[in-house]
Every structure is written in structure tokens, then in C-alpha cells.
A and B are shown apart, each in its own frame.
Chain A
Amino acid sequence: MLVRHLKLSGVNGSLATLSGVENAANEEIVRLHLTDGTERTGRVVKIDGDEVSVQVFEGTRGMSMSNTETIFTGKPMQVALSPEILGRVFDGLGRPIDGLGEVFPEEVRDVNGAPINPVSREYPRNYIHTGISSIDALATLIRGQKLPIFSGSGMQHNELAVQIVRQASTADGSDFAVVFAAMGVKNDVAQYFRTSFEEANVMHRVVMLLNLANDPIVERIMTPRVALTIAEYLAFTRHMHILVILTDMTSYAEALREFSGSKGEIPGRKGFPGYLYSDLASLYERAGMLKVVEGSVTQSPILTMPNDDITHPIPDLTGYITEGQIVLNRDLDYKGIYPPVDVLPSLSRLMKDGIGAGFTREDHADLSNQLLASYAKVQDAKALASVIGEEELSADDKLLMEFGRAFEARFLNQSFTENRTMDQTLDLGWALLSMLPRRMLDRVDEKTLEKHYKGESA
């Protein structure tokens, strides 16, 4: 028996308060009927005796103390799932907006999910080929990994994401699909993704969830949860390999901050709530593979670093949870290098176990170590050159500068449609290293050098 509550006792931001409620359950979904005939959805976020705070997903605009009728459903936020959701477009709460009608659910699930038992996890090892040299060679994406892209406003992260979706393939060619969740993105960006997917003829294996920049922020908080619930369903019930793209996590975190403020919570760093880490973790940790079940959830969240600051709480906390990061760099972007991946701070933590003989090639680890170590030295040489001028550099440093330029122009830089094979990428890396004298390659053992080094001998 559903009880209707006819009044509210307060409205503040996206929070509505009711008093005199019995039997409310924490985090249950409520329906709010306004007298103008519209219906909104909310979620119980705090209970104090008979006083209940409800977070209203569509915003509280137009609500008054007396014009709202509230019904407690007794159920948590759920999403309808079926194999037919592939190729469909939904709003931020998982309701269809492509005009193709409701999804006939095979099952419904709580969007909050449950943590994966670490004992049941399968340690991810198979790499996903992206055809992008900087990623494949130096920050290899592994199936079941969460590898975010740290970008900044105006950089080409959207293009990079599209290129990854278009070119991504698994070594064994198994069933592969993409769940794409847009949180607070601009209308034309969402449109860009949609057209790109259609042009690349991949739309039939994409599920899109769109919460646009002008949609309510409270809905935005649910969007990634709906997306990940869909992904878990497709992966672990339908046994597909799912890549989840969440963009833009910065909008998500800001929505969380706004909402936390309206609840009157004590803010932590930069006004973000103290539980931002736990909250982000409850999303990112839903990536993974299971031992007994075929399928995987790989996550590639995109976030724009406010003011390109990697120490800002959002990239900072993200980096602590995810298994590495791909960092884009504005200087490279200005130089016209695409994708502008800053390889030194970029890292894939799972890469060490997913590359080498049997996965990619036996020289992969050595090559990537050496490329990074040499490129790090290039930065020192550059810093010195900016003080004393490149002419004054030692012979070794001049070689390094030359190597650095070639590395950026030939290795990092590639076209939007270029899909390099692993062998092409690795051979290119060796060709570049061969520009340096052999004694400067201190991360590679003699045997590997013998086989791949093609520069001066001695």
C-alpha cells in the first residue's frame, strides 16, 4: 500500500524535506507529482526520525510546500535491462530519448551495484589494441582496466576517445561493445560523438546515455551508475567485452559538490565533499573481470583538469583510484601534435603483466622503459637549452634534443585515422632509439640491443 504525502516541509536547492513520514527506507526512490500534472523522481538521502530529505533528480523548480504529492516506492533506483539496449540512446537516468519506445526489460537492477569481491576478480592481462602508438607502446590499455584520460578544456580528448572506440579491438576478436555516458557535456559534443559513431558504423554496438550541460545536476549523479549497471549486465550476464567511456568526470564531481553543498555538508578540499574519494571509487572500481564469468568492463573516464592542474582534487583522487592515466599536454597540442599525449606522467599500471612475449612482443617492456627514460632526459636537455641556448649544449644533449623532436613528430604524432599495428609501433620506437649512441641506452640489456638496435655500433 503506497502512502501519499500531500505536503513538503522545506525545499532547498535540489533537496525537498518531508515530515511525518513513517517507514521510509534509506536510498529508496520517491515519485513526486506536481499539481500541474508533471512527475519527478527523487531519492531518499537522509532520514531523521519522521523527517526525510529527498534529492529531486529533475530539480525543484516550481515546487511549493503544498503543490507536491509524494509517493514512496520502497525500491532503490533501478534500470531496465535487455540485450536490445545496444544501439539505443537514453537520458541520464536511463529513459529512452531516441523515440524508439520503452525497453522491454529482461530484468531490472539496482543502479548502485555491489562491490566485486577481490577473491572473485580475475587479474586483467589481455591488452586492447588501440592503434595509437603512445598508448599501445607506453601506456597499454588492458581489458578490465580503468584508465582515465586527463585532458583540459579545448584539447582533443573527444577525438582521441572516438579514435579509441573506432579502432579498439581485442586480440581474439571477441564480442566488443561500448557504453558511452555523457555527463554535463555540451549539446554539440554529444552530437559529435553520435555522428562519429554513426559514420564509423559502430552505433549498433554502442549504448548512449546523455545528460547534457543544461540537464539537472542531480540526474548527472545517477548517470554513471546507470551506465555501469548497463555495462555490468552486458559484460557479466551477456558475456561481452565492454568499454565504458564516461565524459566528463569533472562535471560529475562538480554536480556532487553542488548537491553536497545544498545538503549542508562539511566541505573538504576546494569545497568538494569529504567522501569524493569513496564516491569516485564506487564508480571506478566497477571495472574489472571475474574468474568464473566471461566478459569484462573496461573504463576510460575522461576528465578535464580545471586550469590544467593535475593536483586539483578531481584528477588527483581519480589518479589514486584508477590503474594509471593518460595525460594530454597543452604544449604538444599547440605544436600541432595529435594525440597530444604527455608520455612521462602517463602510465598504465596493469601494463607490466599484459605485455611482452605471449601478449605483445618480448622487447616491449625494455623498449618502453628506454623510450621513457630517454625522453625524460630530453626534458632536462630542453630545460638547459632554454637557459644557455641549444648551441652551447654538449654533443650528447644535442643528440637528445634531436631524438626528442623526432619522437614527438614521428612517434607521438599520428593522424586521426591511422591505425598502427603493434609491430609498426615497436619498430618505430627502435628506429628512434637508434638515433642515440648505444651507450646512452642503459635500460636495455645487451641481447635485446643486439637484436633491435640499428644505430652506430660500439
Chain B
Amino acid sequence: MTAYQIYGINGPVITVRGETGLQMMETVYVGNARLIGEVIGLQQDKTTIQVYEETAGLKVGEPVYATGSAMSVTLGPGLLGNIFDGIQRPLPALEKQFGAFIGRGAKFSPLDTEKTYDVHLCIKVGDRLSGGDVYATCPETSAVEHKVMLAPNLSGTVSEVLPDGAYHVQDTVARLQTDDGKTVDLTLMQTWPIRTPRPTRKRLPADRPLITGQRVIDTVFPVAKGGAAAIPGGFGTGKTMTQHQLAKWCDADIIIYVGCGERGNEMTQVLSEFSELTDPRTGKSLLDRTVLIANTSNMPVAAREASIYTGITLAEYYRDMGYHTALMADSTSRWAEALREISGRLEEMPADEGFPAYLPSRLSEFYERAGRTETLNGSEGSVTLIGAVSPQGSDFSEPVTQNTKRFTRCFWALDKSLAYARHYPAINWTLSYSEYTNELTNWYRDNVSPQFSSDRDELCALLQEENTLMEIVKLIGADVLPDDQKLVIEIARVIRVGFLQQNAFHAEDTYVPLEKQYKMMHVILHLYHRAREVVARQIPISVLLQTGIFEQLVKMKYDVPNDKTEMLDDYIRDIDAAVDGILR
């Protein structure tokens, strides 16, 4: 390995003097402790390197070793159920070596090299393979089958295949004769540079939803599989809670959860909760389909910057196998701040609020890696990105929120006043939007109900109307409104409390299947339509309120179990009975 010498140190940024053979974005080992770093700037007489570990104690003159390759992740079985730091070092292995506090300069294999997998080879000698083709499979966890694929840049003819059996990730299971005559050993793993998107054959339209079991999302602001969504919100508004709910219940096959610059206790919570919870679809532990990447706020800032790319590369890898993956990034603001911090150390010219001018292009590069695609081996997979944004001072006009808004098509704005009133999820229905609604209309029509979209539009219109009316109510009180407007306010209350509000700690309410969501919405609208008849007859709306039917609807989310949605038909009868009783 070529070695250079450290010349300057400034926080996580070090410089090397003179002309070097280092490449842009090349991984280097810094100092005698061999800290991991990455080349981020080349000038004629100076090379700038960001170090992914704490630089205290480094000295001028210590060596910097080149590796010749870009910052990469190792892909293969053993990722699921594991927890890594931002540069894919397995945290359980770090714990074994250093104890409870994280030490420095350790080199670990990201994948467990001791463990064996039950491998089935699905090729034979003479087969022609090209990049992305699956040559072996093995059960990675009880819930997920791992498909071992040829690296995208390889192709050739299979020259040797070993029998099925137990192999380590580093064992050779087959050999490939490439077109230029070289023989390549195929193992169960491959590496991929984190800043380069993995290739696919073509993009597919985003026309099916990611079902999350959260009413305000699935029904009102849906996100498509392969879409990108942003969750902005000040502290205490429930960004992390929402991300956890999505990671637990959404119908993706694989979840990559990136804790980027967030709290250590939260990652501990995810670890312990996910290992206890079972996936409603497979009946297996949720951790079996999850990879956690934890770069907490007190871990080195450069690794925080990398953690997002590490996460998305893992997501793309599972997508290439034909899985639907979802990546939750909590929070992209911390990642942007890491960019700002490093940019400041490089003395770059700052743009908005000190963020570097390339912030928008970095954000767009990231969100554009989402998509539903046809993979190189012809299967269909998707990467859905859900990024939390923590705007400074809860001000949505700050650069990270604004730029994220440009590159995501779904915006779930969390609202402080809703959170203060303990209305969770605190997704504000007037500030949020989803551009996927139109593309998903057909899917909802075919799979839930032909009326779904029109019901949804009516629901949104009612909320919008309430919003306008509340302006008046704030000035003169609700008592003076005419009865038809009072009805709108009452029904909107049922929608807000009984439908939009969802209790994550309630066994039935934490996840609600689409069918129940639709029926609940339908019941509420049925009450509205029937109550309009009451109002049309000049009967005061308070008469209907006194029957308690509104309260009954507010509590139906708790009273109707998820597997007994037919009970909701009784509500229609109860509404009819109450209204007919008054009209008679």
C-alpha cells in the first residue's frame, strides 16, 4: 500500500501535502490507528480527506494509506437482523471488541464470516450469466430468502459449480469464465461503492401503494411503492414515532432503517421492539426483514454523512433480488448538517443558512435512487424512500425542507399544535399533500372499492370546509353558525378524532387494514349524508347529536376489531335508525 503523510488536522478533516496518486472518493486508512477516511478534495499541492472516526490524538507526520477503491459496502447474506454503524461496521462485533463504549480504528468484516448458510445453486456449467443474474439462493432469515446475484459489471459462462450445501459467505460456490478469458470465483458476497446507484433495466410507473396501515397515510396521503416521501416536523411532533410505525407495519419485504444523527436510546428501542414484534404478513420476527444502520448524533459526523448512502445501497441490493424495500431515514436534516459541517471545515463558500451550494443536488441524487424498477434479472423490485426532516425552529421555509419538497412527491407535514393536543399522527391535513393520489386511483378502484377515490375526495373537501369555517368560529364562536355548517364542524370532528387520529399503542388501532379504513370512511360519510336530511328538514343538528351516534363513530376504531369489519355494517344500520327516528 502506498503511504502518504498527514500534514494538517482540523476536526474530522485532514490534509496531505504534495501531489498524490489518490483518487476522488477513494477510501484511505489514516494514522497509525488506521482510522477510516475518504478523499473529498484534490488540489495540486493538497489532498483533503474526511475521517469517519474521532481524530483526537492524531499527529502530523503519521501515515495515510491508499486502498485504491471507493467507499464501498459488502453485500451478501447476514445483513438482515443486523445493526451497523454509518460505514457498515457491525455494532455487535464492535461491542465484543471494545465493550460498551465505541473504540477506534478497528477493521471488521461487515458480514459474519463464521456463519454458514444452506446454499442452493441454481445454475449449471455452461450457463451464460450476465450482471444481476441469480446463481444461488439461501435462506438468510426465517422470513427472507437471499438471492445471490452476479455483480452488475460481470458476465460470462459458468465453468464450475459446487454442490448445494453449507457455505460461508466468503466461500467460492461457482466459477465464471468471463468473455475476456479470465476466471472469476463467485462467492456469496460482492461489494458496491455506496455513492453509485446500482443499475437496473428500466423504471416502472409508481402505480401501486405502499400500504402502511395508517389511515391518514393510506387513505388521505398515500405513497406509492418506489415513491419518495418526506416527513418534516419540529421536535416532539412525532417524526420518529411515525417512522417506527411505518417500519413496523408497511407491506415492504425489506426495511432498511437508518438512524442518522439521532438518539442512541431510539435505536435501542427499535432493536428491542422489532425483535419482539411479529410481522403480520409472515408471522416472523420483524427484525428478520430489517437492517438497522445506527449513526447516533454523538458518533463521528463524517460517518453520519455516509450512513444515508450505505442504507440506500443495501436497499438497492435487495431490490435487485426482486423485493420491495423501504428505507426510512431519520433524519435527513442531520445528514444535511453533516454536509454543512464538513463544508465549513473545507472553507467552502456557504449558500443558504450556511449549507453548501450543492445541498439540492445531493438531495436530488439521494431521492432519485427511489423507484419501482425492472431489475437486471427481469424481476420487479422497488425502493421507497421515507425521509424525516427536522426543520430548524419548526420553520418549513428552511433550505433542507424546501429542497426536499422539490424532490419528493409526498409531503407529510407534522404539526406542533396537533402534537400539543396529542393528536397523533400529527400529520396536518391542510399542509400535507401526495402527488401519487391520481396514479393510485386505479389500484384503489380495483383492489378496495370503486367508490374509494370519490369518498376520499369528499372526506378531504369536508376537512377543507371545516378549516374555512374554523376561521369564523375563532372569531365569533360556533353557536351562531347555521345548522348545515354546524354539521360540517361536527362531522369533521368525527373525521379528525375518529379517523385521522390513530393510537399507535392500541392493539387494534396501531395497524388498520385498507378494507377497514375504507369502511370507516364510508360509515362517517354515510352519517354526513343522512344528517344532511335532518338539517334539510329544519331540525336542529343538536337533536341528532344527542342520540350519541357521533360519539359511537368516534370510538368505532377501538370497538371494531380489524378482522371483523362486517361489524361496520351495523353502524350504517345504527345511523339509519337514529336518523329515521328523528325524521319520523
Contact = CB atoms under 8 A, between A and B. Distances in A.
B476 A388 contact: yes
A274 B356 CA distance: 11
Given A117-B91, A285-B297, A22 B268 contact: no
Contacts of A49: 7-8, 17, 60
A312 B60 CA distance: 39
B347 A266 contact: yes
A436 to B, nearest CB: 14
Contacts, number: 222
A320 interface: yes
A42 interface: no
Interface stretch (A30-38, A94-102, A120-128): A120-128
B390 interface: yes
Interface in B8-30: 8-11, 15, 17
B265 A144 contact: yes
Nearest to B268: A121
A439 B343 CA distance: 56
Contact of A278 (B60, B297, B343): B297
Contacts of A123: 265, 268-269, 272
Given A49-B8, A118-B267, A113 B101 contact: yes
Contacts of A393: 477
B99 A120 contact: yes
Given A24-B59, A323-B263, A352-B505, A266 B354 contact: yes
Contacts of A349: 236
A285 B347 contact: no
B176 interface: no
A405 B296 CA distance: 42
A384 B420 CA distance: 18
B466 interface: no
B519 interface: no
B9 A47 contact: yes
Contact of B58 (A26, A288, A350): A26
**What's the dominant secondary structure at chain A's contact region?**
mixed
Contact of B392 (A22, A122, A316): A316
Interface residues of A, number: 86
A121 B101 contact: no
Interface string A70-105: 000000100000000000000000000000000000
A121 B347 contact: no
B556 to A, nearest CB: 12
B540 to A, nearest CB: 14
Contacts of A286: 298
Contacts of A41: none
Interface in A228-282: 236, 265-269, 273-275, 277-278, 281-282
Given A121-B265, A266-B350, A27 B56 contact: yes
A345 B236 contact: yes
B420 A345 contact: yes
Nearest to B551: A439
A10 B551 CA distance: 74
Nearest to B299: A115
A76 B99 contact: no
Nearest to A312: B393
Pick the most buried of A24, A25, A48: most chain B CB atoms within 10 A of its CB: A25
A48 B7 contact: yes
Interface in B56-80: 56-61
Contact of B61 (A23, A27, A269, A323): A23
B1 interface: no
A114 B9 contact: no
B88 interface: no
For the complex of A and B, the 5 pairs showing the least CB-CB separation, nearest first, are: A311-B393, A281-B297, A319-B235, A285-B298, A376-B421
15 contacts: A24-B59, A26-B56, A26-B58, A114-B54, A116-B101, A145-B265, A266-B354, A268-B340, A274-B340, A290-B100, A316-B234, A372-B420, A377-B421, A387-B474, A442-B554
Interface of A: 22-28, 46-50, 76, 110, 112-124, 144-145, 236, 265-269, 273-275, 277-278, 281-282, 284-286, 288, 290-293, 311-313, 316-317, 319-321, 323-325, 344-345, 347, 349-350, 352-353, 365, 369, 372-373, 376-377, 383-384, 387-388, 392-394, 397, 439, 442-443, 445
Interface of B: 7-11, 15, 17, 54-61, 83, 91-92, 94-95, 98-103, 234-236, 259, 261, 263-265, 267-269, 271-272, 294, 296-299, 301, 334, 337-338, 340-341, 343-344, 347, 350, 353-354, 390, 392-395, 416, 420-422, 473-479, 497, 505, 548, 551, 554-555, 558
Given A22-B60, A123-B265, A266-B354, 10 more contacts: A120-B101, A123-B268, A236-B100, A266-B347, A268-B353, A285-B264, A316-B235, A319-B234, A323-B265, A442-B497
